[in-house]
Structure 1
Amino acid sequence: MQDNPQAVSQALAAALVQTQRIGALLTRFREHVVQEKVTLRDTDLVQCWQQVVNLLEHERKAEHITVSHHFAPDASTVQADRLWLEQVLHNILSNAIQAQQDIPQGWVRIESQKKGDAVQITVTDGGPGFSPEALQNAFMPFYSGRKEGIGLGMTLTESLMTRMNGVITLNNAPDGGAQILLQLANDKETSHG
């Protein structure tokens, strides 16, 4: 990377965006602690996903992970807090990349479809899937399936989904790999206090 000024510049720009996002997220959590209401607004799922893919571009390329998507036209807008939804998707994509470090050609696919007055988002990957222990404990604070993990990512993810009146479910896909289902409303603006 030292011989490539453009790569250094891109890495620094990505680090700056990540730092700003984390700073904004921490500010939001301070608001959460004092129980301010969270206003859920129309949020473009496609834009959120693209932002997350861009933030994790270096890790994704380093691990040879292909990312694909299919957002149904009637299931591309959800009621969410944009920053929180980006954090949820970031945690899921980051975990999928890390789970496939030993796989020569990994992949992650995200899809959305309308389910009644909600949007169901399905993220599937080509990794080993969840162990029975992980399926049971993934949302417990400080539980991690990785030695270097601190075990707060999925706890945070579940908390954010709950605050956005959403649901998250972990499964293993029929053909193997992890499958995470997110469900969020896609109707009018609401508040959750």
Structure 2
Amino acid sequence: MKPFNDPPWRELFDRIPLGLLVLDFSKEQIVYSNPAMEMLLHSIQPISYPRVKEIFVPANRPDPENIPLRQTVPLDEKKIGFTVYSPTPGFWLLLANEISEKDRQEQIIATTNVMSTIDYTFFSLAHEMGNPINSIKMTLEVLINNFKEYDTKTKLEYLGNLHAEFSRLEELLQAIKSFNMFEHLTGKATSIQPLLDNLLQLLKNEIESKGIALNFLYPEQPLWCQSDPRALQQSLLNILSNAIDALEGRADPIITIEVGQTAREATIAIRDNGCGIADEKKKELFMPFSSSKPRGIGLGLAIVKKLLAQMNGTVEINSRHHQGTEVLISLPLASTHEH
């Protein structure tokens, strides 16, 4: 269960509002417990394997498949609802929270959604890393078995293929690291237009080389939002990069950037007339490692959603296949005395 101790994944699991606990029965130890679980079990500090086993695990431990989907256990004056999963033989993963009869159904739905995200993330990570690893393994086997027979040119070709696959792994690991790039955000009044102008200056050469037209719809007066400027710039960069990629091969590529506001929020809309998103892909847009690009990692929008949530913002995507996409960001307006 290594992912629970890897920093990017640990940070993700630490933020899950449900209590999460992983038990290793072979070593009789707790592999991981997140802050939400420690809050639930604060009355039995320090949290130990024997005590946790006594609370959650029956004496005649059955297979998780034979355990009811949702169980409850009394703890002090609370009622703890928990669900047991077995992601790997010998391990149990427990999701738990304090429940009442009134919100029981809502908690079941929340648990299911969390597990779906975890399952999807692990499956996608294994797939993304498995492809280059398998390619490296096969290439090395062929090269080793035929090393004496191959001439220098052929050997260099195989080494070049190995280098490309290692670069792919490096790119993947860098993307995972970027998911945890901004650990601590600092909210402050941020002028939106200058931030956008600076970002577009960085992308100027790429935009011009691809013949992409830009259309700006800015308000007459500067608009300020409450955000972490670095995180907002990274979010906008990810969105604009997607828009640029989506315009590949279009006869009249154009990106429109519109800045506006509602009563309490500043809004930034980025529209393109690119390839759009197929209906079957829309439900996976913000899932980690979900990408329609041949060489895409699929963490860009997941990072955007995470950063905006940390800034009390939201992101919405409206897209029509073969017609274009609109991404709408909303952030709290900065009060007038802050700028």
Please indicate the TM-score interval, normalised by the length of the shorter structure: 0.7 to 0.9
Contact 2:317 2:326 (8 Å CA) reproduced: yes
- Comparing both structures, which one devotes a greater share of its residues to strand? 1
Q: Does 2:269 align with 1:118?
A: no
Contact 1:75 1:112 (8 Å CA) reproduced: no
Distance 1:106 1:29, change over 3 A: same
State the SS of the aligned residue for 2:318: strand
Q: Does 2:226 align with 1:79?
A: yes
Give the whole-Å Cα distance in 2 for the aligned partners of 1:88 and 1:153: 8
Distance 1:31 1:146, change over 3 A: closer
How far off is 1:29 after superposition? 4.3
Contact 1:121 1:182 (8 Å CA) reproduced: yes
- Relative contact order (C-alpha < 8 Å, sep 6+): which is higher? 1
State the SS of the aligned residue for 1:86: helix
Larger radius of gyration: 2
Partner of 1:177: 324
Partner of 2:242: 95
Contact 1:125 1:178 (8 Å CA) reproduced: yes
With the length of structure 1 as denominator, give the TM-score of the two structures. Answer: 0.75
How far off is 1:108 after superposition? 0.5
How far off is 1:133 after superposition? 2.7
Contact 1:41 1:80 (8 Å CA) reproduced: yes
Give the whole-Å Cα distance in 2 for the aligned partners of 1:31 and 1:103: 35
Partner of 2:308: 161
Give the whole-Å Cα distance in 2 for the aligned partners of 1:49 and 1:187: 17
Give the whole-Å Cα distance in 1 for the aligned partners of 2:182 and 2:244: 31
Give the whole-Å Cα distance in 2 for the aligned partners of 1:146 and 1:176: 17
How far off is 1:75 after superposition? 6.5
Deviations 1:10-69 (A, max 9, x none): xxxxxxxxxxxx9xx96x94662xxx4x32111111111112211111221121111121
How far off is 1:187 after superposition? 2.8
Select between 159-168 and 125-134 the one with higher mean Cα deviation.
125-134
Partner of 1:63: 210
Give the whole-Å Cα distance in 1 for the aligned partners of 2:209 and 2:271: 20
Distance 1:75 1:176, change over 3 A: farther
How far off is 1:73 after superposition? 3.6
Contact 2:247 2:273 (8 Å CA) reproduced: yes
Distance 1:113 1:94, change over 3 A: same
Unaligned segments of structure 2, at least 5 residues: 1-173
- AA aligned to 1:128 is C
Give the whole-Å Cα distance in 2 for the aligned partners of 1:167 and 1:182: 6
Give the whole-Å Cα distance in 2 for the aligned partners of 1:166 and 1:112: 15
Q: Does 2:178 align with 1:42?
A: no
Give the whole-Å Cα distance in 2 for the aligned partners of 1:156 and 1:186: 22
Distance 1:31 1:153, change over 3 A: closer
Give the whole-Å Cα distance in 2 for the aligned partners of 1:118 and 1:134: 29
- AA aligned to 1:124 is R
State the SS of the aligned residue for 2:186: strand
With the length of structure 2 as denominator, give the TM-score of the two structures. Answer: 0.44
- AA aligned to 1:138 is L
Give the whole-Å Cα distance in 2 for the aligned partners of 1:44 and 1:65: 25
Partner of 2:121: none
Q: CA RMSD in A?
A: 2.6
Give the whole-Å Cα distance in 1 for the aligned partners of 2:221 and 2:306: 26
Give the whole-Å Cα distance in 1 for the aligned partners of 2:292 and 2:198: 26
Distance 1:165 1:73, change over 3 A: farther
